[in-house]
Amino acid sequence: MQISGTTRITGLFGHPVRHTFSPAMHNAAFEKLKLDYVYLPFEVRPEDLTQAVAALRPLGLAGINVTIPHKEAVLPLLDEISEEAALMGSANTIRVSAEGLKGYNTDAYGYETSLREEAGLVLAGKRVFVMGAGGASRAVAFQSAFSGAAEVVIADVVPARAEALCAAVAGRFPACRVAPCAADSRAVERTVAAKDLFVNATPVGMKAEDPRLIDVAWLTPGAVVFDVIYNPQQTRLLREAAARGLQTLNGIGMLVHQGARAFEIFAGTPAPVETMRGVIRERFGA
């Protein structure tokens, strides 16, 4: 890759960003298509987000991805937001143009596409349990309801967060049964047993010393277990679920497909999805 005076800059705002695979994935895609773009990680603290976003146009960036903890906080800083970003109350992609800054949410697209391609699971009519009520959870919950899920249950260690997200989803999709669940083990055990899909949208499992999220024996046979974490590739939740014979998938597919959609927003051309997936597989030695 050669950097010149005409190279367009894209990248990632987050805190932290040292663990991210996005630069390798996007830069490989730009190189594959011989596009004069580069993707860089930017460590942006919450107190610096306003200034960082304001600098996007003066510095001439083409676009930026946004990750934890900025997905919701970035919305009021934008000139325009897409329908899905407005619906979910969070944005993970910003396109910079002469008209201003437009926010998008590609997480929901990545979530549904990954489920369909890797697990053969169609969300219509399904009963979904989501652990967590943060930015990724919003994408999971809203996309599930939008795609016709029969039920979405959300649990969070901060009950008010789960209740607020449930109210937001139910307000837009009254045909979907949406309810909060207490995050204690007894409540989760009672509620999760009849669900078709269990989604971990929390950071629990990123560290080897993290506690067990749930007892997979509570899950119904035939349930799909989806952990949005992609590093490590196999969390404790996924290992235990697989050992019980449940179908599992991690966040790699969601990462690749949300990244591919963001790439298309930045560059205005279809992304080389298999090139992007290959980079992630190489990083994991798979």
What confidence tens digit (pLDDT) does each residue in 179-201 have? 999 999 999 999 999 999 999 99
Band the pLDDT of 144: cuts 50, 70, 90.
very high
| CATH hierarchy code of domain 108-250 | 3.40.50.720
| Better-predicted residue by pLDDT, 43 or 1 | 43
Tell whether the model's pLDDT for residue 231 goes beyond 90.
no
Are the beta carbons of 109 and 133 closer than 8 angstroms?
no
Torsion of CA 21, 27, 28, 33, to 10 degrees: 150
Tell whether the model's pLDDT for residue 230 goes beyond 90.
no
- Each domain of the chain, given as residue ranges in start order, spans 8-105+253-284, 108-250
- pLDDT for res 285: 63
Are the beta carbons of 143 and 118 closer than 8 angstroms?
no
| Better-predicted residue by pLDDT, 181 or 2 | 181
Are the beta carbons of 219 and 246 closer than 8 angstroms?
yes
Sheet holding 127-131, edge to edge: 177-181, 151-155, 127-131, 197-200, 224-227, 247-249
CA–CA separation, 272 and 277 (whole Å)? 9
Are the beta carbons of 272 and 33 closer than 8 angstroms?
yes
Q: Do domains 8-105+253-284 and 108-250 have the same CATH topology?
A: yes
- pLDDT for res 284: 75
Are the beta carbons of 191 and 214 closer than 8 angstroms?
no
Q: CATH topology for 8-105+253-284?
A: Rossmann fold (3.40.50)
Tell whether the model's pLDDT for residue 258 goes beyond 80.
yes
C-alpha gyration radius of the chain: 19
Are the beta carbons of 204 and 175 closer than 8 angstroms?
no
Tell whether the model's pLDDT for residue 286 goes beyond 60.
no
CA–CA separation, 133 and 151 (whole Å)? 16
Residue with tokens 């992630």: 280
Q: Catalytic residue numbers?
A: 71
Mean pLDDT of the 87-107 span: 93
Tell whether the model's pLDDT for residue 282 goes beyond 60.
yes
Residue with tokens 């249950």: 153
Tell whether the model's pLDDT for residue 154 goes beyond 80.
yes
**CB < 8 Å & 24+ apart, contacts of 215-219:** 215/185, 215/189, 216/240, 216/241, 216/244, 216/246, 217/244, 218/188, 218/189, 218/192, 218/193, 219/192, 219/193, 219/195, 219/244, 219/246
